[in-house]
Amino acid sequence: MSGRPLDVLEATLGDSVTVRLKDGATYTGELSGYDQHLNVVLDPASGASAVEDEAAETVESTTIIRGDNVVSITP
């Protein structure tokens, strides 16, 4: 998959993605929306903290992630 970043996100809508954040936390879920600031909506999402003591996974019905915190989005 190649192209401009927003084109790649458009092609990935409805597919499972992994979002890595600045603090090291990761969230996995179906990409249901995004905008030009890389704010993303995952539905449903599961996440894991970067801190080993907080390694418990949580499941949310819908998760909105602010683009300022996003390091990478992997399809």
CATH label of the domain that carries residue 39: 2.30.30.100
CB 54 within 8 A of CB 26: no
Looking at residue 6, what is its pLDDT? 87
For 60, the domain range is 5-74
Looking at residue 2, what is its pLDDT? 65
Looking at residue 23, what is its pLDDT? 94
Give the C-alpha separation, 60 to 72, whole Å.
20
Looking at residue 45, what is its pLDDT? 80
How many folded domains does the chain comprise? 1
Provide block-wise average pLDDT over 10 residues at a time, the chain (75 residues): 82 95 94 94 81 56 93 93
Looking at residue 65, what is its pLDDT? 94
